[in-house]
Amino acid sequence: MPVEVRTASAFMAMYSVPAAAAQNLIDHTGLELLQYRPGHGLCGLVFVDYIDGDLGPYNEFGVTFMVRNHRRRRKSVLSDLRSLVNGDSGALIHQLPVDGEFTLAAGRGIWGFPKILADFEADHVSDVRRGKVSHEGRLIAELAVRQGLPTLVGGTDRSLMAYSHLQGVTRYTKWDMRSTGVRSRIGGASLRLGDHPIADELRSLDLPRRALLATTIPDLRMTFGDATPV
């Protein structure tokens, strides 16, 4: 420790989802969904291509929810918005299919990430980024993201509290990230769901629908340490 990812790329879409339905999916973790407006939370779908890192090269698809910090839970939308701006909120990694057996074992054994072995088709270089993920022959999701406008000059550094839950234990891990070339746009994503149980979970959140935000990250570096039980 820490584990380093030296080269990766990603694209993602962020969706507004009904808070009650999303909380129902994550209740078993003991965490509380962050509400960016009354009755609505944030769900992110992300494809990542890990090119060079300590866990080797692999593809990943994440279903994430923004949640309240387990140490400083507050019950108002205003305090939730403040925590988003201040970086005091967290991201629960709810589902995490990957296509590498080593990262599968490490992710589950070290950090408690709910990784499953899946099949991927992904394009991280075209103007329209595309990703398709299936598990045991059943489609989970297919996502296309159109590039937007540059969001920052140069790069940006950010730390994130990543939560996971596996075999009855909720953990958190600090991730430090540096991203360059980030582009974002309102909407800009197309989502198709399959017949896998993960797809059914996403349908319970009224997906597919128009994305709040679509983002592409051509250059992503990450460092993350050990996991700590909540």
Delimit the domains of the chain by residue range: 3-229
**Predicted pLDDT at 150:** 92
d(CA 32, CA 117): 28
Q: Over the stretch 197-230, which tens digit does the pLDDT of each residue have?
A: 999 999 999 999 999 999 999 999 999 999 999 9
Q: Report the pLDDT averaged over residues 112-131.
A: 98
Domain at 3-229, CATH homologous superfamily: Acetoacetate decarboxylase-like (2.40.400.10)
Q: Over the stretch 155-187, which tens digit does the pLDDT of each residue have?
A: 678 888 999 999 999 999 999 999 999 999 999
Q: Transcribe 43-88 into DSSP letters.
A: EEEEEEEEEEETT-SEEEEEEEEEE--TTS---SHHHHHHHHHHT-
Residue 154 has pLDDT above 70, yes or no: no
Q: Over the stretch 67-110, which tens digit does the pLDDT of each residue have?
A: 999 987 767 889 988 888 888 899 999 999 999 999 999 999 99
Cβ atoms < 10 Å from Cβ of 27? 11
Residue 68, classified by CB atoms within 10 Å of its CB into exposed (0-12), middle (13-18) or buried (19+), is buried
- Specify the 3-state DSSP secondary structure of 213: strand
Contact 15, 48 (CB under 8 A): no
Q: Transcribe 109-142 into DSSP letters.
A: III---EEE-EEEEESSSSEEEEEEEETTEEEEE
Strands 90-98 and 115-117: parallel
